[in-house]
Structure 1
Amino acid sequence: MAGPAREVLALLRPWVDGVDTAPLVVRTSGSTGEPKDVRLSRDAVLASATASAARLGGPGQWLLALPVTGVGGLQVLVRSLLAGAEPVLLDEHADLEQAVAAMRPPTAAPRRYASLVPTQLHRLAQAGRLDVVASLDAVLVGGAAVDPALLERSREAGVRVVRTYGMSETSGGCVYDGVPLDGVDLRIVEPVDGVGRVQVSGPVLFDGYGDEPRVGAWFDTADLGRVDDGVLSVVGRADDVVVSGGVNVPLPAVERALREVPEVHDAAVAGVPDEEWGTRVVAVVVPADATCLDGVRAERLRDALEDAGLPRAWGPRDVVLVDAVPLLPGGKVDRLAVRRLTGG
């Protein structure tokens, strides 16, 4: 489903009401490969929206700040229709502050929500404007991992952040703050030291890709994670672990550590085929200060990883300097573009 948000909202009204029950087709972001057409039944989408409202404390008015081409934006519209509350569309306002101001006041709307990607929250924090969303009852943040420092800063500013985990195949976020929504089950398969592949089951699952039906009750997310006391922690993608010089290197852990280096504004990493190392870890880095680049040399970054308690062998062998880490429209890192930048 695609088109301007108002048009998509109009198309969804009879669908949510049950007049039209044909499956929705949502294209995945393609952040790690070719996009896929995901078929979502009305039952699955409504099961997700209903469970979300229950977890958040009830239905309410939503601010749409995500593209409706993705499942996150579609779910904002579906939740709005189920709540009977007209959504506020960011695209119809000058900025996020004006969009939030256009929402019903707390005295008129029982609850007010927004769904953002980490990049949007980061930009609010950088501008010192986290107060813009602090009045909302919850700000769902998903689409990519949230930096712990950003999460702490946001909560200290009074923003009620709810970290969501999910994907197109699960009708959007199906795990809130590490806890599955009602009706959703998780399991970890092939664990090593407690970390294994995350699989999901429940009424929120998709029907299949294109004309191919989904097989089995469990969906393998290709993410790696662990469950401790019923709380899921995702550590990365199964294909985000590369072997460099005989050492397993979890690329998301390297990225998180690099972003904590004072001289680094942002970073992404990739594995590049290499005759000597098998796979060479290369960092794509946005320097914090373009006039002083000594701190972002590969040797300095390996030092920083070691200082952070990570193996020095995980550190990048090469660094590519860029003005911005490439992102997809939904805010995820464009992994294919990162690999191209690194020569992979």
Structure 2
Amino acid sequence: MWECGEAQSLQEAKSVHEHIIRSLSQLEVSTYNRIIEMYGKCGSMDDAFMVFNAMPTRNLMSWDTMMTWLAKNGLGEDAIDLFTQFKKTGMKPDGRMFIGVLSACSVLGDIDEGMLHFESMIKDYGIVPSMDHYVKVIDMLGSIGYLDEAFEFIEKMPLEPSVNIWETLMDLCRVHGHMELGDRCAELVEQLDPSRMNEQSKAGLLPVKPSDLAKQKEKKKLASQSLLEVRSQVHEYRAGDRSHPNTDKLYAELRHLREQMKEAGYIPETRFVLHDIDHESKEEALLAHSERLAIADGLFNSPVRSPIRIIKNLRVCGDCHTALKVISKIVGRELIIRDAKRFHHFKDGLCSCRDYW
């Protein structure tokens, strides 16, 4: 189940689920929980809900797992509704559950409710906030543009801010274009953990040193990778890769899509290409990002109108995020991408993250 979830293979996940049902006359609660997690990692919350609703009994982990994956898949309202149902059971929430609650409020952009839950966690349940809880509050504030307020919240924290705190705020500053505060956060991230500041992290913030580019070149083989399941086989795509047997066909499809996207108002954000090349070459570099190659292949090799599911080892860049929203509307498909930070469900020109990632 863990392997199916990590590979985001929904077909394999369903096969494993069916095998478990055939093999076991009675399932343990822990087995149900793992199946819910497996479907959550595949981005199929309808299947996860089906399993959750079929459970004869549930424990704290059952509710927590369901709520966590609803939030991770951008279904914040459903997660909060589930928490309301949970409180009626008489069980007491733990610190882990409140991370899911705060994540859901972040998805919804509901600061008021989020802060009420944060305060309730402390006053009503006696839970001492961990660094993970503070990260979620920063994400919640920053997601809707309250960046200065997030910084003030950090300054008042009773704990010494971790690199995760500063990295979260740094990423949100980039999304909202608050470069001055973003630079301050980037400097702190670099001081605490230089390995966090790769070429993509510095885009639009700290200047990239020649030595950094050299290091990135050395790591290029491991830099950007996307996985796509096609006919029960997992295919791998790397940025700029031309080793695929249908390379010419994939790039032709992406260029055709780009023209349609531009007609719909899309403007390539070439600032995410840090190499010293001309504008046209930068547009081509964006076109060759690993998730776009995977999507092009998925369009050719999956049933019409069916969702395309992709795993990416790095965060989706700002340009790809914009592009994928437009592509989802043009092709009439849901594009589900699990990147290094979260799930993105692109559908009808919108993303489940509401452009806060």
Taking structure 2 as the reference length, what is the TM-score of the superposition? Answer: 0.31
Taking structure 1 as the reference length, what is the TM-score of the superposition? Answer: 0.32
> Which one has the bigger strand percentage?
1
> Which one has the bigger helix percentage?
2
